[in-house]
Amino acid sequence: MKLLEDYKRISKVTKKNIKIYDSTLRDGAQTKGVVFSFEDKVRIAEMLDEFGVDYIEGGWPGANPTDDKFFKKISKFKNSKLVAFGMTRKHGKSPENDPGLNSVLNSGASSACIVGKTWDFHVKKALKIKFEDNLSMISDSVHYASKRLDEVMFDAEHFFDGYKSNPKYAKQSIKIALDAGAKWIILCDTNGGTLPFEVSKIIREVIKIVPGKKLGVHFHNDTDNATANSLEAVRSGVRQIQGTFNGLGERCGNVNLVNVISNLCLKMNYNSKVRKNLKKITHVSRFVDEILNRQSNRNQPFVGSAAFAHKGGLHISAVQKDPRSYEHIDPETVGNERILVVSNQSGRSNIVNQLKKLK
């Protein structure tokens, strides 16, 4: 009964806009076996722009020659905003004199996503600095960047682990970024170990200090919960989802934007710029794999070649009568197609004849 009530409530939700932030060109490059050429990045970026994602993260200016060339050649898109990724100033340097930060600010992109530490463990073990020094690095960097660019996002690295370890400090780190001028606060599950029930609980607390309309999330998929976590985050009030096409990324990958976008638009009644182009999502997914010379996952939800494949007499017979018998959506809504597979195990002697009649 509770499940039915939740479904009815979700279906009646006003169609709020969700921003889609694609990090395929940077996070995707961390995938084992994936190497982007300059031409690869340009072709994928053009496809993403045509599809209509809100933000395209072009890479990390100053990190490698390919990213430098990309930002030198491309400064804006037709439909999407170009974002440069980078980190806060280093300890002991001012924002004005930090080469890494200024490479991001001088990239030509009008938006930047700046990553900083929010987990006390990382501040102690990785940076080996005082907690207050890390907060100053965040505040100084965001404030300086906000004066130079139209839009600055603060990427709260390891936020969910940080919150579970030291909620006071984790919240302090994002509040100081907001006060310094960040337009978005991105809560990251960098290790990918957070579960959906934890996401909703933590975001309910975060929204008390950062409005949901300024919150985004970025989940890794190490527990196979990245999609569920992203959807739960939206239900909890966040308004930006970051991820990659086909779940590209280090270790087990990032959240797969194919699944998130399809579920948000078709199941949860949310709006996004990409909604009008949803029929192109299968093409975009396969295009990315083709550019990277990767074999597409045939079992990938929504866009896989087997996502709407039926085998066996019982299933095929029912699908012939009404596809809703074994399909949760019409495959055409995501640009995919139905496949009926007949074998000697189908269990119905007249299946082949029935299929011939359909043709």
Is there a contact between 64 and 37 (Cβ–Cβ < 8 Å)? Answer: no
Place of tokens 């400064």: 75
Tell me what pLDDT residue 241 has: 98
Mean pLDDT of the chain: 92
Compute, in degrees rounded to 10, the torsion defined by CA atoms 262, 263, 265, 271: -110
Quickly state the pLDDT bin for 10 (edges 50, 70, 90): very low
Give the sign of the dihedral formed by CA 63, CA 69, CA 75, CA 81: negative
The pLDDT of residue 357 is above 70: no
The structure's pTM equals 0.91
Is there a contact between 241 and 217 (Cβ–Cβ < 8 Å)? Answer: yes
The pLDDT of residue 326 is above 80: no
CA distance 318 to 313: 8
Tell me what pLDDT residue 358 has: 43
Q: Which residue has the higher pLDDT, 309 or 139?
A: 139
Quickly state the pLDDT bin for 359 (edges 50, 70, 90): very low
pLDDT digits (tens, 9 = 90+) for 242-282: 999 999 999 999 999 999 999 999 999 999 999 999 999 99
Tell me what pLDDT residue 196 has: 98
pLDDT digits (tens, 9 = 90+) for 28-70: 999 999 999 999 999 999 999 999 999 999 999 999 999 999 9
pLDDT digits (tens, 9 = 90+) for 200-219: 999 999 999 999 999 999 99
Most confident of 5-14, 238-247, 323-332: 238-247
Average pLDDT of 330-356?
70
Beta strands in 41-194 (DSSP E): 55-59, 81-87, 111-117, 151-157, 184-189
Specify burial of residue 342 (Cβ count, 10 A radius: 0-12, 13-18, 19+): middle
Percent of the chain residues past pLDDT 70, beyond the cut = 90
Tell me what pLDDT residue 339 has: 85
pLDDT digits (tens, 9 = 90+) for 124-152: 999 999 999 999 999 999 999 999 999 99
Tell me what pLDDT residue 122 has: 96
Average pLDDT of 151-174?
98
